[in-house]
């Protein structure tokens, strides 16, 4: 595999003449004539849809044509998510890291304060109670540990650290209190990036076909030269009985409706535990939900030993709507069986470099109030604009 990063000068990504539609509008690209179907998963609730899945051996074969599968999962009629099966080493790396999540969360408060990073809006190190739920209340149900698993210090430029603190500041590891976290976090994050780059290559081939072989923007290369990928280890604290019975029935009770603004998001299946013992999910209605282009909301499932990837808004724009990002949320388990249940999971956010220039079209259907029509922003500027609106204003 070629080096993950190079010193190439960032290219300008021309997004003009792109029409991206919201989930409730018809897509700008013609839907395939064949019906895109989602397979039901055996043993799952009737409303659960199985992700489109690609064996790792097929993904690793650059000569294999996966266009139909990419279209089924990521195209205008898809769920915006594809899972990869049989990834070598993944099951062990997943468990190694996810079992550390409660250990991070249960470190003494003063120890966790040492690896918080307010300057990055808590986008490096430990974060708890800094984000808001859809109700407007601070989210104290879960805690997160953020780090760049590829580069401990993406840049030494202090001006860049100040301008793009969510990407450019250095990692903050609990090297004394939990040294094994850094090893496990980097191992899983690097694997998820490598598999994601393989998937990005096949996405490029699918988009190339749809554009008559004239497209010169490569998602794979954009991601390969980026310095600002970000991993997030999430821990959902054990649920109290009142929460199980009263407050968690909403579809978006654990994570509100949103669309990732990056390129690809790698996801592990959540790991549930009670009293430090791994258990199955206690509620069949709990889990990941997506909203498709026709406005339908479906629960999406994939196997615990599969890696899943979701499309982000930037990829939807770059692909001229051929690869589609879908809004999604996470529902918490409900009922007495969820009492004292905790959950751990990991997300790998793959995104362009902060200096990568994005040229937006005249008609924009994501964040219209924030993006100038026919305007140009770097990915760093675009991200900071979104964070200013949806997180909090930086002073």
Which CB contacts under 8 angstroms, 24+ apart, belong to 278-284? 279/341, 281/333, 282/333, 282/335, 282/337, 282/338, 282/341, 283/333, 283/334, 283/335, 283/337, 283/338, 284/44, 284/45, 284/48
Predicted pLDDT of residue 168: 95
- SS3 call for 5: coil
The answer to the question of residue 22 being in a domain is no
Looking at residue 221, what is its pLDDT?
Answer: 93
Q: Pairing between strand 297-301 and 48-50?
A: parallel
Instruction: State the pLDDT at residue 19.
Output: 35
Whether the Cβ atoms of residue 310 and residue 267 lie closer than 8 Å to each other: yes
Q: Which residues of the chain have pLDDT under 70?
A: 1-47, 132-136, 138, 211-216, 241-254, 361-366, 368, 389-395
* CATH number for the domain harbouring residue 257: 2.60.120.330
In this structure, how many other beta carbons lie within 10 angstroms of the beta carbon of residue 62?
Answer: 9
β-strand partners of 127: 144
pLDDT at 338: 84
Give the ranges where 171-231 is alpha helix by DSSP (H): 180-210, 219-224
Per-residue pLDDT, 384: 80
Full residue range of the structural domain in which residue 101 is found: 48-393
Q: Examine residue 3 and state whether it is found in any structural domain, yes or no.
A: no
User: Closest Cα partner for 195 from 56, 351, 4?
Assistant: 56
Q: What is the pLDDT of residues 299-338, one digit of tens each?
A: 999 999 999 999 998 888 778 788 988 888 888 888 888 8
Q: How many residues does the chain have?
A: 395
> Is residue 102 a part of any domain in this protein?
yes
Q: How many domains does the chain have?
A: 1
Distances (CA, A) of 192 to 89, 272, 313, 322: 11, 21, 19, 23
Residue 213 is assigned to a structural domain of this protein: yes
The pLDDT of residue 257: 76
97 in any annotated domain: yes
d(C-alpha 127, C-alpha 142), whole Å: 9
pLDDT at 216: 59
Phi and psi for 327 in degrees, rounded to 5? -60, 145
Does residue 39 lie within any of the structural domains?
no
Within a domain: residue 14?
no
């Amino acid at each position: 595999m070629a080096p993950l990063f190079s010193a190439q000068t960032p290219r300008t990504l021309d997004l003009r003449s792109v029409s991206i539609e919201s989930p409730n509008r018809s897509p700008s690209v013609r839907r395939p004539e064949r019906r895109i179907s989602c397979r039901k998963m055996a043993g799952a609730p009737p409303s659960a849809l199985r992700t489109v899945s690609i064996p790792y051996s097929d993904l690793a074969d650059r000569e294999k044509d996966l266009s139909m599968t990419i279209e089924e999962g990521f195209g205008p009629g898809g769920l915006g998510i594809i899972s990869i099966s049989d990834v070598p080493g993944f099951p062990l790396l997943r468990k190694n890291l996810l079992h550390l999540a409660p250990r991070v969360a249960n470190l003494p408060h003063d120890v966790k304060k040492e690896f918080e990073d307010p300057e990055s809006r808590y986008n490096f190190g430990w974060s708890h109670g800094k984000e808001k739920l859809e109700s407007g209340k601070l989210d104290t149900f879960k805690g997160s540990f953020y780090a760049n698993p590829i580069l401990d210090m993406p840049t030494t430029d202090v001006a860049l650290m100040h301008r793009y603190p969510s990407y450019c500041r250095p990692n903050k590891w609990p090297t004394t209190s939990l040294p094994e976290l850094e090893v496990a976090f980097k191992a899983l994050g690097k694997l998820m990036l490598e598999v994601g780059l393989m998937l990005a290559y096949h996405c490029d081939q699918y988009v190339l076909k749809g554009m008559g072989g004239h497209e010169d923007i490569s998602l794979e290369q954009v991601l390969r030269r980026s310095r600002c990928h970000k991993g997030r280890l999430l821990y959902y604290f054990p649920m109290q009985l009142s929460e199980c019975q009263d407050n968690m029935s909403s579809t978006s009770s654990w994570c509100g409706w949103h669309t990732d603004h990056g390129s690809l998001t790698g996801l592990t299946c959540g790991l549930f535990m009670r009293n430090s013992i791994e258990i199955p999910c206690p509620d069949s209605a709990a889990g990941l939900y997506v909203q498709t282009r026709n406005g339908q909301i479906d629960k999406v499932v994939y196997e615990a030993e599969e890696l899943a990837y979701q499309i982000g808004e930037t990829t939807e724009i770059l692909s001229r709507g051929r690869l589609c990002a879908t809004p999604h949320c996470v529902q918490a388990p409900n009922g007495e069986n969820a009492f004292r249940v905790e959950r751990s999971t990991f997300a790998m956010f793959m995104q362009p470099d902060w200096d990568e220039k994005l040229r937006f079209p005249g008609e924009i259907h994501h964040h219209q109030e924030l993006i100038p029509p026919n305007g140009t922003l770097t990915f760093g500027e675009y991200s900071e604009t979104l964070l200013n609106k949806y997180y909090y204003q930086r002073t």
